[in-house]
Structure 1
């Protein structure tokens, strides 16, 4: 008879995600994971597989959580420019307890050249963000709120590039005024 899990799988996966987010894949040992997740090594393997599989699941959880926390609330914002601004500010201004930067950007930098599965997940998440931006821009162009001088797809690609750069900058630049100036200057492209 199989034993029932004595831990909440999503909670434990969230702990692993946080460890990988703070330390990266290569700098995270199995001992770090076991200690941080609060479960036995055997339970970790039985539930999540090896370290690489756990990392992929942590990436998936991060992408899903980011999308739910960030994209959903944008639908209620009446101004398209304000919705785009909120997306940028969600990336720049995190809660103090959260690791700096973005797990997906960290993964892209650390592993995507050598790990096709990581690269696929990063590209999927990046494509999703770019699609959200393109939809917002198209809506703003249709209403006249955003310049129609460039195609929505081109503006979305440009803004997404800036957003990824901002995610990197957040890791090293704690100056909120500088981050806000970067956001303001970037979003001026929509005028």
Structure 2
């Protein structure tokens, strides 16, 4: 009977761990590449305001690596298309919270441009990260969890000395990595599973007492 009791308890524990694992597995990761924004003929354009289920504001657009022969427009894009934040400002948000993990960031025309990235939740700033970028591409980790809005702001820096260089604090962003919030099993669910295991144990004891 002791062996049977342990087997039942192991089964109940397995069910609880399975429920926890299922909740964690449902956290889907997404990389926003902006490749589907390229219509095939324009080198620059406006970003869809609801791209990938987010609300985009500030001064967002898309840019292709063909837009310029130098600078961040060329260096900052992965593949063929990237997000451009004209004047260095862009915000993306949605009603349900998400995690913002990392992104590639470059300045279109400046070296040493200062970038501040903020994460917000219900109107309160919960994260802030500042760093310098150049016209060469760099990957930056943020790990903002449980936010509903992320804002980028770029300013300052020195315009590169190049005959083909443009002007402005534009930022080029690409491969923004976001993920969904992992749902945590409700305490009631865990207690229900535990209660089920206790019912099985009680039933086994009754069967043993009946046979005796």
TM-score (norm 2): 0.22
| Structure whose alpha-carbon radius of gyration is higher | 2
Higher RCO (CA-CA < 8 Å; seq separation 6+): 2
In proportion to residue count, which structure has more helix? 1
